[in-house]
């Protein structure tokens, strides 16, 4: 929230967090499609996104920006499944964690960003197997 206010002061961020009751109230007040939006940026955590995925799915997001994006390098993780269900126009991944020389992890990130281009991990997985054979 501080970084948004510091670097993009015209944007109106809101924080989606709290107890179950607080989140229910937040959803009714801020994520109701019938209500006019009073915010530009929604900031939340991985855990809240997983718990409140039904409410988040109702919105067509202009941008989805994921910090610590290495958390979706496993396409079967709960968070990866959650964000893949969201309808987005643009996606941005931010991570400082290396991919451990694993091509499948790279594919998972590319598939999230460009699913039409990187639809199948098969070619990546075959390339990794071929590389392992060459190293042996």
Query: What is the rounded CA–CA span in Å between residue 104 and residue 90?
Result: 22
Note the pTM of the prediction, 2 decimals: 0.80
With CA atoms as reference, report the closest residue to 110 among 73, 66, 80, 77: 73
Show pLDDT as tens, one digit a residue, over the chain (136 residues). Answer: 999 999 999 999 999 999 999 999 999 999 988 889 999 999 999 999 999 999 999 999 999 999 999 889 888 999 999 999 999 999 999 988 776 767 888 888 889 998 888 887 777 777 656 555 545 5
Dist CA 131 CA 127 (whole Å): 6
């Amino acid at each position: 929230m501080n970084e948004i206010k510091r670097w993009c002061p015209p944007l109106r961020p809101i924080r989606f967090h709290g107890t179950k009751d607080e989140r229910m109230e937040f959803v009714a007040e801020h994520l109701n499609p019938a209500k006019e939006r009073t915010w530009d940026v929604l900031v939340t955590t991985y855990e809240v996104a997983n718990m409140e995925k039904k409410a988040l799915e109702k919105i067509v997001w202009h941008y989805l920006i994921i910090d610590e994006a290495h958390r979706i390098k496993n396409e079967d993780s709960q968070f990866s499944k959650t964000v893949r269900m969201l309808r987005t126009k643009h996606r941005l991944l931010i991570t400082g964690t290396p991919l451990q020389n694993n091509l499948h992890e790279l594919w998972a990130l590319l598939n999230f960003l460009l699913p039409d281009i990187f639809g199948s991990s098969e070619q990546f997985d075959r390339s990794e197997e071929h590389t392992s054979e060459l190293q042996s």
